[in-house]
Amino acid sequence: MPINIPRAPKKKEVTQKIRVGKKFVSQLPKGMHDVLPADFAYVERIEKIFKKVAAFYGFERIETPVVEDVKLFERGTGLTSEVVQKQMFLLKVSGGEGTLALRPEYTPGVARAYIESGLVHTMLPAKFYYEGPVFRHEQPQHGRFRQFHQIGFEIFGSDDPSYDAQVIVATYKIFDEMKIKDVVVKINSIGCKNCRPAYVKKLKEYYKNKQSKLCRDCAKRYNDNPLRLLDCKEEKCQPFKAEAPQMLDHLCASCKRHFTSVLEYLDGVGIPYLIDQTLVRGLDYYTRTVFEIFAAGVESALGGGGRYDYLFETLGGPKIAAVGSAPGVERIIMAAKAQNIQLPPKLRPKALLIYMGDEAKKKAFVLLEEFYRAGIVVHEAFSRDSLKSQLRVADKEGVELALILGQREVFEEVIIVRDMKSGNQETIPLKRIVEEIKKRV
Ligand code: HAM
């Protein structure tokens, strides 16, 4: 008896109402978020571009543990940084192993791994890239999570300004290839060991008799980390910031040359930048170039980085100049969504395998594996035994063909190939079906 195949009911979503009782105990921890399939479309696009860019510039992948000894961040990221002071997730480990921290950033861990693994003896300069989760116990708000994801570049072993420019260009390319518009690099130089102390002294002199008028954070910054007085966002501190002495006027000749050279490299390849003398960054290890990258539609930085020529020494290692950058994946996705960026269409399966009856289902199960071996993407709807609902799935997945097996087809060792658009169908011997579909892919 021929199979009477109904047309797939159009435009009807395959959804089901499932009641979730009140007893379902689950609460996402504050500041955490799930990454659901719709967002993975963005994540995968970002990863693809990121890896292409990394490969082009010769970066090699590295991954460090999610937990590290807290001392690594106290010494590396720095005791005066907000990240270390307020934002670390700490784990007390029994057995005298001290305290571990969920990494609040990658940079000190990558530096540690470079020395500890001995790569320092074989790779110099060394270029690394990484991607993974990062944890900061911040007050959650728009674009600020407690677990987020960074992708990043680090270059160890050179203080050449072309490398400062290269990490900026490589980072910029990710946004550019994502088609994010109105991207701007804010850039500054915060000098080196030679010129910064004199500038900081001047800055403190300037702020000395203004301390009582500053916000509470700035009053603390005055003693702990005076440079950060410059990036305060509080209304009451703005007039003082505007009149404060500027770092660029106090750079030593070598830092000045370095900064000019970085800008020239950026000019050479047309990267739009804005010199922002209030940009100092929140992590303690930076020297010379610092930058943050912004885009229309998102208030916070999509990425940031800079040069850190003393980090290795601070960690007790040799002197190794370094520069790097780390964009946040969630922020890139926010910008892409705010700017209505369309992703390339998802690759659709060519066909859906449809079965009627137990024997046909078993045959379809085996046939699916033959398609896998042939490298042809074919989907199934094994949880839906009715023909109508399987056809709905075929429609929802947008497949061109439905491959239909009934009891009779199994018996006669054939399969029906139905064109989902026209409704035309033909019967093909089962042993030829993979080859036949291959021709049409
Ligand atoms: P950062 O500026 O602290 O730098 O973070 C880099 C990026 O991570 C930010 O621009 C932002 O996109 C993202 N991000 C930071 N905090 C959050 C958050 N709470 N929620 C969502 N996204 C966030 C660093 O981490 C340095 N390690 C960068 C670097 C690499 N410097 C040199 N090499």
Query: What is the reported pLDDT for 3?
Result: 54
Closest ligand 1 atom, CA of 105? 25
Asked whether 304 lines ligand 1 (CB < 6 A), one says: yes
Asked whether 76 lines ligand 1 (CB < 6 A), one says: no
CA of 345 to the centre of ligand 1 (A): 30
Q: Are strands 99-102 and 90-92 parallel, antiparallel or unpaired?
A: antiparallel
Asked whether 131 lines ligand 1 (CB < 6 A), one says: no
Look at ligand 1, atom 16, and give the residue with the nearest C-alpha. Answer: 144
Whole-angstrom distance, CA of residue 32 vs CA of residue 145 = 6
Find out whether 83 and 104 touch, Cβ atoms under 8 Å.
Answer: yes
Whole-angstrom distance, CA of residue 273 vs CA of residue 291 = 9
CA of 258 to the centre of ligand 1 (A): 24
pTM, full prediction? 0.90
CA of 140 to the centre of ligand 1 (A): 15
Closest ligand 1 atom, CA of 77? 27
pLDDT band at 145 (very low <50, low <70, confident <90, very high): very high
Asked whether 302 lines ligand 1 (CB < 6 A), one says: yes
CA dist 404 to 287, 302, 422, 441, Å?
66, 49, 16, 18
Report DSSP letters for 248-266, one per residue: GGG--HHHHHHHHHHHHHH
Is the pLDDT score of 223 beyond 70?
Answer: yes
CA of 340 to the centre of ligand 1 (A): 24
Closest ligand 1 atom, CA of 329? 12
CA of 292 to the centre of ligand 1 (A): 9
Residue 370 token pair: 């033959």
Asked whether 108 lines ligand 1 (CB < 6 A), one says: no
Asked whether 276 lines ligand 1 (CB < 6 A), one says: no
CA of 143 to the centre of ligand 1 (A): 11
- Lowest-pLDDT range of 24-33, 85-94, 130-139: 24-33
Whole-angstrom distance, CA of residue 135 vs CA of residue 65 = 12
Find out whether 184 and 274 touch, Cβ atoms under 8 Å.
Answer: yes
Asked whether 324 lines ligand 1 (CB < 6 A), one says: yes
Query: What is the reported pLDDT for 13?
Result: 54
CA of 104 to the centre of ligand 1 (A): 9
pLDDT digits (tens, 9 = 90+) for 294-353: 999 899 999 999 999 999 999 999 999 999 999 999 999 999 999 999 898 877 898 999
| Mean per-residue pLDDT of the chain | 93
Asked whether 114 lines ligand 1 (CB < 6 A), one says: no
Q: Is 135 helix (H, G, I), strand (E, B) or coil?
A: strand
pLDDT digits (tens, 9 = 90+) for 148-187: 999 999 999 999 999 999 999 999 999 999 999 999 999 9
CA of 235 to the centre of ligand 1 (A): 24
CA of 105 to the centre of ligand 1 (A): 7
Whole-angstrom distance, CA of residue 60 vs CA of residue 129 = 6
Find out whether 6 and 390 touch, Cβ atoms under 8 Å.
Answer: no
Look at ligand 1, atom 8, and give the residue with the nearest C-alpha. Answer: 328
